[in-house]
Chains A and B, each alone.
Chain A
Amino acid sequence: DADVTQTPRNRITKTGKRIMLECSQTKGHDRMYWYRQDPGLGLRLIYYSFDVKDINKGEISDGYSVSRQAQAKFSLSLESAIPNQTALYFCATSDLGLSTDTQYFGPGTRLTVL
């Protein structure tokens, strides 16, 4: 089984709808991240969480919110989806967040907002 899973893998929705993307991990890591990727570009950080009680904004947090329900679960919400939020979304985890740490990524969720 994959260490980092994301659901759904694909989602098509309409402008104005509320959407939740979910991420679960079995690696026992404290740190979790949400990124988005637009075509031809690298990943950009949306939110990150050091532990259940610690949530931090990343580079592009406007229009998004997150919830860290447990060490293993980190959800990303779009309260009112808009077309320019159409993108590929990745969840990732890491252990201590040290400069030597590795981040482990999920398979991604492809979101289309019509």
Chain B
Amino acid sequence: DAKTTQPNSMESNEEEPVHLPCNHSTISGTDYIHWYRQLPSQGPEYVIHGLTSNVNNRMASLAIAEDRKSSTLILHRATLRDAAVYYCILRLNYGGSQGNLIFGKGTKLSVKP
């Protein structure tokens, strides 16, 4: 299974942008890149996903490298509520496991007031 590599932790100041990196050098051509986050004491929640082009939604932006071997989740203005563990996940797109999520350890984001 294709794996992702993320920093264990990052810190940010409130109301500043945050760039969360993810490396996925073994990504296959049809794997989608998904980001989920897990707030304290909650289940994970979907943030954003993309294939090749950069993506924006109300929560965040996703910048995907041209060779697709890395991506960056961008929170434009971090709030205290954004403190969470962020998971970068490659979504399997073949075989009987299509659609399954393979979680890594994620990046724990701390936001300082």
List the interface of chain A (C-beta within 8 A of B). 4, 31, 33, 35, 40-45, 48, 56, 58, 90, 92, 94, 96-108
Minimum C-beta distance from B17 to chain A (A): 25
Report whether over half of chain B's contact residues are helix, strand or loop; otherwise say mixed: loop
Q: Of A31, A41, A45, A107, which one neighbours B43 at CB under 8 angstroms?
A: A107
Determine the residue in chain A with the shortest Cβ distance to B99.
A97
B13 within 8 A of A: no
Number of B residues, CB within 8 Å of A: 25
Minimum C-beta distance from A46 to chain B (A): 12
Minimum C-beta distance from A70 to chain B (A): 21
Q: Bound complex: CA of A45 vs CA of B98, how far in Å? A: 13
Given contacts A45-B101, A102-B46, 5 further A-B contacts (CB under 8 A): A41-B105, A96-B99, A98-B99, A103-B46, A106-B43
Q: Bound complex: CA of A56 vs CA of B101, how far in Å? A: 14
Q: Is the CB of A42 within 8 A of B99?
A: no
Among B43, B44, B106, chain A packs the most CB atoms within 10 A around the CB of: B43
B91 within 8 A of A: yes
Minimum C-beta distance from A54 to chain B (A): 10
Minimum C-beta distance from A86 to chain B (A): 17
Q: Is the CB of A42 within 8 A of B106?
A: yes
Q: Is the CB of B92 within 8 A of A105?
A: no
